Chains A and B, each alone.
Chain A
Amino acid sequence: MMIVVSFLARLAWWLLLAPLLPGIINKVKAWVAGRRGPPVLQLYYDLARLWQKQVVMSTLASPAFIVGPAVAWVAVLGATTMVPLGPAGATLSFRGDVVLMLYLLALARFATTWAAMETGSAFEGMGAAREVSYAVLAEAAMIAAMLTLAVQTGSVSLATMLAPSVGTSAVLLAAGLFTVLLVENCRVPFDDPATHLELTMIHEVMVLDHSGPPLAVILHGASLKLLLFAVLLTQSVLPMGTYSPAVAAAVLVAGVLAVTVGVGAVESLMARFAFRRVPLLLTTSVLLCVFALLVAWQGAA
């Protein structure tokens, strides 16, 4: 009984709280720009509205155009089951779950790009090509970050890897993971989620032709992924395992909030990078994670 309740509680955290994050980011951006901005709950309204809408589908698209977003959403949700939530722990935990989490995110990427390519549109092809290309460096950074945590704790399961802090390398790791968070969730300076009709985009351009419930699923999945990365970043930097459950829960919420506000601040204060400079920043994030790994190696010795 307890298992079911805690499982449902975790599920509720992930599913219900996720759409809050883009709302907070937009609020921060509006506040910095001196506007009032949309309500924090705007994405919830959007999702409810989209869910009732009809779908318009390209004549070229195969069923995978509709199935793709569903697959991506299930994959991201699957990845969240392995990420511990502070004192609440993870639904699924075993040796090597960290690799499964990374590859479930890859599955989501595959499904999204596949669905984008269904339309035969050059714009969506561009977005898909950028998404998979930048992911190459982001993946290397993620592996390095996970190796850092593994070296630090001697464990290969997320639930135990994320409990202590990574000590002196925490700053490096935080910088590296934050950059990965920005690119994986297509935020400034890699992508600009505010514009919809630009040649220069990644994620938004891939979903140009989606509408109705599939678009709702895509938007919800994107917010879920953002929450996942925020939770991961918070816990890999802070020593969650050393706090009492109540403090840990508060710290987790505060951490996620801080990361979200940070994303909003970056978005307000920076412009999107020119595309040829993107790989440079990504390489920097790989190096940051690799240096974090080296420092963790020294520290744990």
Chain B
Amino acid sequence: MTVGPLIVLAFAALTLGVVVGRRWPRLWLALTLTGAGAAIVASLAVLFGAVDWEWRGAFRLGGEALHLRLDGLSAIFLALVGVLGAAGAVYAREYWSDAHYPASAPRGRAWWSALLLSMMLVLTLSNGLHFLIAWESFAIAAFFLITLDRGQRAVRSAGWLYLAASHAGTLALFAFFALLAARTGSWDLGPMRDQAALQPLLWLALFGFGVKAGLFPLHVWLPSAHANAPSHVSAIMSGAAIKMGVYGIMRFSGWLPAPAAAGWVVTGLGAASALLGIAFAFAQGDLKRLLAYCSVENVGIIMVGVGGALLARADGDAAWGRLLLAGALLHVWNHGLFKGLLFLGAGSVLHATGTRQMSRLGGLWRKLPWTAGMFAIGTLAVAGLPPLNGFVSEWMVYLGLFDAVTSRGASAWAAIFAALMLGTAGALALASFVKAGATVFLGAARGKRAAEAHESGRTMVGSMLVLAALCVMLGLAPTLVWPALARGVAAWQPAWPVAPVPQSLQAIGGAQLTLAVLLVAAGLFAWRRLRGGVARRAMTWDCGYAAPTARMQYTSASFAGIVGGWFRWILRPELALRRPRGLLPLRAFRLERFPETVLDVVIAPVGGLIMQTASGARRLQHGSLQAYILYVVAGLVALGALVLTAGVR
């Protein structure tokens, strides 16, 4: 099947989905799945076929002819949007059902289709003006999805923060596309690597898309938006929507000539995002905020790959650049899959217990065995551990960095720095997810809600299963996706020769498969031996406690205490403490909250200053006619003075 009709089918199905979403949920689901499926097939056809798809229409919108394009780079992102769009739509049937949310569920369906449609348009439109229109509708659709549950104050403020940050980024993009059009003389987008004058524009794109991608320190909107949105929305926001920012950075760093410093800046920002993102994640006590901050880390890993590729391109097209970019592209997929899975798992926990606070949960594996199993798979993947998919992409990035170091060029220093940061961030990611998984699912229930939880239904578990299966598949057979990655790399820099599957990647694939078989065999052996009557159950021994209670368990805050101390300079925890006093202390507590430091320390004061200036300026407008006449007279006098002095000269 050719790509064109599939794209048309996807667009048509999703457009229809916007219309019918409110009334007919079943038809809407069928349309969404059709649209997402068509998009996936189309992108796979481009990735594993040999040619890009391009279409120019005669139809004009805003004076510009329609121009659609799907190449190796955009197809990678399109496939991800399709997968998460379908999984989230199925999941929402139960999670955000009409029965529970009669007002917002129908609205949510319509906006879901609108979000998928606008993201697909962003990925395919190849005209600056149309790109901006699609980008803006994407931002607005996401806003309405985040604020589906707008009765809650936290949700509304998260939504506004998102909208404000998103528009700050869009403003930079307006400037970027307008300047691009002014300098090239056309809104049409495409490769323009030979026009050296366009170099500085990349900074604007980096800022504009960086806000959407959640790159540190532009991530201020991300934690609250992803934590407060309904979980299926968080899944697609973290999995696919922030990847639109990544797409923008990759797309235009590929199409435009890059300034010499770009590689250094992107690598540095990526490394900083990776380390600080995960440090913030580790400190959080809210499960979904933890996941959201972890997205900042993963975008950082992707950006290290992109920055490395830029360095390689400046360094005479070094071979390690290809590996780094391929690793970044694979991590786009991997992060989308495992973070989608984790957010859906968090949604299942929230659905069952009604709280995101990890310190109120615990012991959920017994009540939610499927969710616990799927979440554990996601945990292994996000910590970058073999034999799952997260390891493969991180390994590719590491290998690229090691190769850059051994090449001993100037970029080696950036690579050394990035490798050290990634190693630290990787260990912190492991710590964060041991904490999250263990506090939520292991031990004893810390409250009534956790004790009375129930497993989610088939549709929710089913959509998690699909994502988990994809995580396992990409982990065990990384060589299968190499052609797709090579296509993405070729779209970014056509001058680089298309490499066959590297031998080391084959070796990793074999090692992952062997390891998986061994692990499953060892696990089964251990469990069978145990089931064979060897085990006796008893209370947790714990050095001989007679009556341990659930409240004596280690909490998420105590687990993160040591590392939280190391990062105190940037985490800036807010502490509310009441020590036990007297012989029979009745009340004692310790509450620790980790606010968003960049927001509180940088953005809020600057915003306050702007508000003050604006309120000051407002005093000029007070409705007194005499004063307005005075303004007019003063203005005329000033103009007259200007004309006179100019005339003298």
User: Which residues of B lie under 8 Å from residue A106 when comparing CB positions?
Assistant: 383-385, 426-427, 430
A198 to B383, CA, bound (A): 30
- Contact between A143 and B420 (Cβ–Cβ < 8 Å)? yes
Contact call A156/B431, Cβ cutoff below 8 A: no
Q: Is B386 in contact with A147, judged by CB distance below 8 angstroms?
A: no
Query: By the criterion CB–CB under 8 Å, are A132 and B402 in contact?
Result: no
Stretch of A18-26, A119-127, A239-247 contacting B (4+ beta carbons < 8 Å): A119-127
Residues of chain A lying within 8 A (CB to CB) of residue B376: 64
Is B610 at the interface (CB under 8 A from chain A)?
Answer: no
Residues of A within 8 A of B530 (CB): 55, 57, 63, 66
Query: Which of A70, A120, A155, A293 sits near B363, CB closer than 8 Å?
Result: A120
Taking CB atoms, residues of chain B closer than 8 Å to A104 are: 386, 515
Write out, one digit per residue, whether chain A residues 94-108 have a CB within 8 A of any chain B CB (1) or not (0).
Answer: 111111101110110
Q: Which of A58, A125, A126 has the most chain B CB atoms inside 10 A of its CB?
A: A125
Interface presence of B494 (CB below 8 A): no
Task: Evaluate contact between B534 and A125: CB separation under 8 angstroms.
Answer: no
Structural contact, A60 and B363, CB atoms closer than 8 A: yes
| Chain A facing B: main interface SS | helix
Flag if B540 contacts A58 (CB, 8 Å): yes
Q: Is A267 close to B, CB under 8 A?
A: no
Whole-angstrom distance between the Cβ of B515 and the nearest chain A Cβ? 6
Instruction: Closest A residue to B390 by CB, please name it.
Output: A103
Contacts of A213 in B (CB 8 A): 526, 529, 534
A70 with B526: CB separation less than 8 A = yes
Given A99-B395, A110-B430 in contact, is the A156-B424 Cβ separation under 8 Å? Answer: no
Q: Which residues of B contact A100 (CB under 8 A)?
A: 386, 395, 508, 511
A117 touches B541 (CB 8 A): no
Cross-chain contact A136 with B424 (CB below 8 angstroms) = yes
B561 touches A129 (CB 8 A): yes
User: Which residues from B are CB-within-8-Å of A121?
Assistant: 540-542, 545, 548, 553
Most buried by B among A54, A58, A197: A58
Contact A73 B522 (CB under 8 A): yes
Say yes or no: A139 contacts B424, CB within 8 Å: yes
Q: Which residues of B contact A212 (CB under 8 A)?
A: 534
> By the criterion CB–CB under 8 Å, are A151 and B406 in contact?
yes
* Contact A103 B395, CB 8 Å, known A119-B542, A126-B554, A208-B543: yes
Is A142 interfacial (CB-CB < 8 Å)?
A: yes
Question: Which residues of the partner chain B approach A73 to less than 8 Å between Cβ atoms?
Answer: 522
Contact B515 A129 (CB under 8 A): no
Q: Are A58 and B543 in contact (CB under 8 A)?
A: no
- Chain A residue at minimal CB-CB distance from B514: A78
Write the chain B residue with the least CB distance to A104: B386
CB distance from A286 to the nearest CB of B (A): 8
CB-contacts of A36-69 with B (<8 A): 54-64, 66-67, 69
Q: Which of A60, A132, A214 contacts B443 (CB 8 A)?
A: A60
Name which of B159-167, B227-235, B434-442 contacts chain A: B434-442
Given A57-B537, A103-B385, A128-B438, answer yes or no on A122-B559 (Cβ-Cβ < 8 Å). Answer: no
Given the known interface contacts A117-B434, A119-B540, A120-B553, the answer about A125 and B559 at a Cβ–Cβ threshold of 8 Å is yes
Q: Does A99 lie within 8 Å of B398, measured CB to CB? A: yes
Closest chain B residue to A198 by CB distance? B543
Given contacts A58-B541, A135-B431, contact A103 B419 (CB under 8 A): no
Closest Cβ of chain B to A225, distance in Å, is: 16
Most A Cβ at <10 Å: residue of B519, B526, B552:
B526
Instruction: With both chains docked as a complex, state the minimum distance between the C-beta of A249 and any C-beta of chain B, in angstroms.
Output: 27
Q: At the interface, yes or no: A74 with Cβ under 8 Å from chain B?
A: yes
Q: Is A92 interfacial (CB 8 A cutoff)?
A: yes
User: Closest CB of chain B to A149's CB: distance in Å?
Assistant: 10
Q: Are A120 and B529 in contact (CB under 8 A)?
A: no
A62 touching B535, Cβ below 8 Å? no
- Residues of chain A with a CB closer than 8 A to B420's CB: 140, 143-144, 147, 290
Closest B residue to A276 by CB, please name it: B565
A contact residues around B540 at 8 Å (CB)? 58-61, 119-121, 209
Q: Which of A61, A122, A290 has the most CB of B within 10 A?
A: A122
Complex Cα distance A150/B527, Å?
41
Q: Are A140 and B402 in contact (CB-based, < 8 A)?
A: no
Chain B residues whose C-beta falls within 8 Å of the C-beta of A136 in the assembled complex: 424, 427-428, 431, 563
A55 to B530, CA, bound (A): 8
> Are A151 and B539 touching (Cβ within 8 A)?
no
Enumerate chain B residues within 8 angstroms of A69, measured Cβ to Cβ: 526
Check if B408 is an interface residue, CB within 8 A of chain A.
yes
Which of B386, B395, B542, B563 is A209 in contact with, Cβ under 8 Å?
B542
Question: Knowing A64-B376, A117-B438, A120-B444 touch, does A155 contact B406 (C-beta < 8 A)?
Answer: yes
Contact B430 A132 (CB under 8 A): yes
Interfacial residues of chain A within 126-179, with CB under 8 A of chain B in the complex: 126, 128-130, 132-140, 142-144, 146-147, 150-151, 154-156
A236 contacts across to B, CB distance below 8 A:
none
Q: Is the CB of B558 closer than 8 A to any CB of chain A?
A: yes
In the complex, which of the residues A97, A107, A147 contacts B416, with contact meaning CB atoms closer than 8 Å? A147
Residues of B within 8 A of A290 (CB): 420
- A118 near B443 (CB under 8 angstroms)? yes
B277 to chain A, nearest CB (A): 14
Apart from A95-B503, A106-B383: 12 A-B pairs, beta carbons within 8 A: A56-B541, A62-B365, A66-B530, A92-B511, A99-B402, A100-B386, A100-B508, A103-B385, A121-B553, A125-B553, A128-B434, A129-B559
**Interface CB pairs A-B, < 8 A, 20:** A57-B536, A59-B538, A66-B530, A96-B399, A106-B426, A106-B427, A107-B380, A119-B541, A120-B362, A125-B553, A136-B428, A140-B420, A140-B427, A142-B423, A143-B423, A150-B402, A154-B406, A156-B402, A208-B543, A293-B416
Query: Which 5 A-B pairs rank lowest in CB-CB distance, beginning with the nearest?
Result: A125-B554, A120-B443, A117-B438, A143-B423, A94-B507
